[in-house]
Amino acid sequence: MAFYQGARHILAPQPIVSPAISLGVLVVSALFEGWSFAVGFREYKRVIRGRDIPLWSFIKASKIQVFMGHSWRISPRSLGSR
């Protein structure tokens, strides 16, 4: 049903009634995403505690652990630290 509704709206779009609502939703979602990133970045800083671990390596290691069902704790070994 959802696929049908989506296809119908793409093939026969309705005129935009209020762009302010759409922009408001976009702004609110950007604020939530920024807040989520700030919380994650604070956690990254807390976990690495001064070690030289790039943010991208930390993210990849945490995603692998979550995907594989391991604990949320990220060890230096999982980050490839020396």
Q: 69 lies in a domain?
A: yes
Q: 51 lies in a domain?
A: yes
Q: 15 lies in a domain?
A: no
Q: 16 lies in a domain?
A: no
* Average model confidence (pLDDT) across the chain: 82
Residue 31: which domain range?
21-82
Q: 43 lies in a domain?
A: yes
What's the pLDDT tens digit per position in 33-42? 999 999 989 9
Number of H helices and E strands in the chain, helices first, is: 3, 0
What's the pLDDT tens digit per position in 40-51? 899 888 988 888
Query: What pLDDT is recorded for position 53?
Result: 86
Residues 43-60, buried b or exposed e (16+ Cβ, 10 A)? eeeebbeeeebeeeebee
Q: 35 lies in a domain?
A: yes
The more confident residue out of 66 and 25 is 25
Query: What pLDDT is recorded for position 17?
Result: 87
Q: Phi-psi category of 27—alpha, beta or left, where left has phi over 0 and alpha has psi -120 to 50?
A: alpha
What's the pLDDT tens digit per position in 15-37? 888 899 999 999 999 999 999 99
Residue 79 predicted with pLDDT over 80: no
- Provide the domain count of the chain: 1
